[in-house]
């Protein structure tokens, strides 16, 4: 990890110190994704199949989530694994049911003029679940369950096949816990293209979806970006690319815990980025030494080491400045490992999820605490939040006006319309004013 003394940097140097890995904006990624999109738009499922065979070595496949398939998956897993999956699914469902937006009552702004806000689920949600090097069945729970709670009519879930072309039984079991009827084995930009344009295959059809969800690597993130830019294309949840974690550690933070948290994100992907911020030079060095020690025994050490090459270890003047660094970076995940961690939350304005104190491991949030772990990356946390039930819904205002209310408010609206030079607007109001 690159060591940086924040106090010596000017504004430009500080922005450079917090730059994301260059690969996330690689022109080659953008060009190849555009080629895939153009091909899928023209040739549909045939193109998706060709790209899947070329990039993943396996054709797209629909896995029906039947009681028999779920039972077989359960039998293939240790009992403690299925119990843990069920607990995680229950926690995710409880949290999202509790935070599901409700229709508001009517509010009267002028006598006889009443308005309210109502919520409706979107029609079709395209959900991307990362796989490839690791089957992230937790991401399936963190998206498909909030969509279910929201009442989405059609949930289309895609995930890359395993190296042998199959699917991990935990993915099938998680799909059963989420109440899905099918799972598509397709990955990468070609999967996002299928969700965007729709695609027909021998064993089923993927519809064009209204909104796309899910984290992924640089290719998936770019594909979502291009999908959202299409005229009439789908909406997207947020930029949710390679994982990020920023750890603020004070002089009393446990080096072993801080190092473990940094590595938990570094092992995700070589494009993942971890940042350590501390007021204490001594503890910063102790944490980095602990990172190196723990790295030696990690099964995914090569991936973690590649990620750490893009990491930063930043020394700041104090905890207030540490929070300024965090807000400037806008991390996907922010861990506050400090004595006054609760008070530091008040200083944080830009983070996808905040983990307060040494016991709040980011891993708990990744798997089982309840809130979705699908969160904004690349600084989008400065303006966007993570997935909630509301992400799978739309809100609309409903206005009800009595004759008396129209007579009261229409002259106001007509005057404002004429002030803007919109005479037809004004006349439509005049017809309600009784004048």
Residues catalogued as catalytic: 332-333
Cα separation, 218 vs 223, in Å, equals 9
For residues 435 and 413, is the Cβ–Cβ distance under 8 A? no
How far is it, in rounded angstroms, from Cα 127 to Cα 192?
A: 9
DSSP assigned state of 338: S
CB 4 within 8 A of CB 315: yes
Identify the residue whose tokens are 């209204």: 210
Q: Are 358 and 315 in contact (CB under 8 A)?
A: no
Q: Are the beta carbons of 111 and 408 closer than 8 angstroms?
A: yes
Identify which of 128, 187, 180, 138 has the alpha carbon closest to the alpha carbon of residue 162. 187
Give CA–CA dist 171/134, Å, rounded.
11
DSSP state of 302: H
Alpha helices, DSSP H, located in 198-244? 218-229
Q: How far apart are CA 118 and CA 364, in angstroms?
A: 33
- And the tokens for 79? 């009992």
Nearest CA to 152 out of 386, 394, 392 is that of 392
Closest CA to 199 of 69, 393, 36: 36
Angle ∠(233,237,241) on CA atoms, nearest 5 = 105
Is 251 in contact with 282 (CB distance < 8 Å)?
A: yes
Half-sphere exposure (Cβ direction) of 93: Cα atoms closer than 13 Å? 14
DSSP string, 138-166: HHHHHHHHHHHHHT-SEEEEEEPPPTTSS
């Amino acid at each position: 990890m690159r060591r940086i003394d924040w106090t010596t940097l000017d504004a430009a140097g500080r922005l450079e110190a917090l730059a994301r890995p260059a690969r996330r904006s690689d022109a080659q990624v953008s060009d190849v994704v555009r080629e895939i999109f153009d091909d899928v738009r023209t040739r549909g499922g045939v193109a998706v199949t060709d790209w899947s065979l070329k990039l993943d070595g396996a054709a797209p496949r629909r896995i029906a989530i039947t009681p028999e398939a779920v039972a077989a998956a359960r039998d293939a897993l240790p009992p403690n694994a299925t119990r843990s999956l069920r607990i995680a699914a229950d926690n995710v469902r409880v949290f999202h049911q509790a935070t599901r937006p409700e229709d508001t009552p009517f509010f009267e702004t002028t006598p006889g003029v009443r308005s309210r806000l109502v919520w409706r689920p979107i029609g079709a949600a395209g959900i991307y679940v990362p796989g490839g090097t690791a089957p992230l069945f937790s991401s399936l729970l963190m998206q498909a369950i909030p969509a279910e709670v929201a009442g989405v009519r059609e949930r289309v879930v895609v995930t890359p096949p395993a190296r042998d072309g199959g699917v991990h039984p935990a993915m099938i079991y998680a799909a059963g816990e989420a109440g899905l009827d099918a799972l598509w084995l397709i990955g990468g930009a070609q999967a996002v293209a299928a969700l965007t344009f729709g695609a027909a295959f021998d064993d089923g059809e993927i519809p064009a979806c209204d909104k796309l969800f899910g984290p992924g690597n640089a290719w998936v993130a770019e594909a979502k970006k291009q999908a959202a830019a299409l005229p009439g294309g789908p909406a997207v949840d947020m930029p949710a690319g390679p994982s990020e974690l920023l750890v603020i550690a004070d002089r009393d933070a446990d080096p072993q815990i801080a190092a473990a948290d940094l590595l938990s994100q570094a092992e995700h992907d070589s494009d993942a980025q971890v940042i350590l911020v501390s007021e204490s030079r001594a503890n910063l060095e102790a944490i980095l030494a602990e990172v190196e020690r723990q790295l030696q025994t990690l099964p995914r050490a090569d991936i973690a080491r590649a990620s750490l090459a893009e990491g930063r270890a930043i020394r700041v003047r104090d905890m207030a400045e540490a929070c300024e660094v965090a807000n400037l970076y806008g991390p996907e995940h922010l861990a506050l490992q400090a004595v006054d961690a609760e008070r530091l939350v008040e200083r944080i304005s830009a983070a996808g999820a905040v983990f307060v104190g040494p016991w709040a491991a980011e891993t708990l949030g990744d798997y089982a605490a309840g809130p979705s772990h699908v969160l904004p990356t690349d600084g989008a946390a400065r303006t966007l939040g993570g997935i909630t039930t509301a992400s799978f819904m739309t809100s609309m205002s409903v206005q009800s006006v009595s004759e008396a209310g129209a007579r009261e408010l229409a002259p106001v609206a007509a005057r404002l319309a004429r002030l803007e030079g919109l005479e037809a607007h004004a006349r439509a109001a005049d017809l309600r004013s009784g004048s």
